[in-house]
Structure 1
């Protein structure tokens, strides 16, 4: 996956993530602005264990759930990695992808990446990239919705309503794929996996200063849930089954079936 993305963005400027490498007098809350967009491929690869595997296999899983004449949604699409995977793996008649993000900087760069993908491959699913708030999106009938590390940035009191609206839009036999960073209800387990995640970041070249400042920037913005909270909320939204299919340290992905 990473090799493919490198090919697709070869002509687009990329930079290593050094956003928190220098001491900041005051660490601002994390936002998906142009500074983040410039370093996002490097940031996500070095921060989220298992990310390339999750992204590529969302495409594979989507191939099992996508229905003819339906929409596939990538909600919180960022630079479009999931959208690219959907287009590579789904070969169902008359499907199309709608990628949605509320960051104008992300949307602009996502369109560049998808244009690069179009130039390399033939007969890909058509895609529309929309700058919008997914909380106010009018969902079309859909057979596959991907929420890839997106729900954790939505206020907790708004999550059930969003998931309920997604469930109502899902066609029979479709699926929601939800990937999230996890909290753990057992304090010792939570501390262990949090420490291992920090070790993962160190192994990927982040300094103690970068780790600390990034944590300070994101702690009020990204609000993760436990696996149990996700399961209960998805069932409350009307899903019939919740199946974890991937976990690496404190990051996981679930399939929710209508």
Structure 2
């Protein structure tokens, strides 16, 4: 499943799922472009580390994906985009009547509108190159809902719909578009939340994970960054050339209910 010679642009990739996917694609031989809204030495150091570890070209490009022009400029600045991974996201939890309007606007812009802008720029590049893969990181919440997450659920459902439209528009090209829908993934951010959950519910670590954090995930196990990375590499490979317009769940059975 070599991706040597391909360039992958991964939004929101200086930590968590995005960084894990970048490393997986680099491990398969792809050159990678990391992205977030910051522009720190640490961001560029991550790209240098990936380049050294995997023997690929890696760069970091700052872009505030809440702004459509910057989302488009990200792809233009990258210069090539054989693989596009739309991953950037934020979260806010509140009842809909109390949901901050500014947070609604930001979540929709960063998680849905940015995917429209990056895809609109990347598809012509892919057609010119004669090959392309678009991976939109949705969520189990792209297929199911939870209370108090109106913007997140709306954005993730929108990403699934956008994926299907792009798949149909590129169906006769050697381009695929698919949405990955994880449940709970063990990222550093989730790991940091476990002690607070243990304290809040007066539970040991294992019980807090199984009964609170993973209450809706039937397997009672987190998905891992390595598992998500393996799925991403497969979807980018020639083995998946006829997989397009789909949602690929990795949620321990959550959406089987």
Taking structure 1 as the reference length, the TM-score comes to 0.45
Q: Which structure's residues are more often helix, by fraction?
A: 2
- With CA pairs under 8 Å and 6+ residues apart, which has the higher RCO, 1 or 2? 1
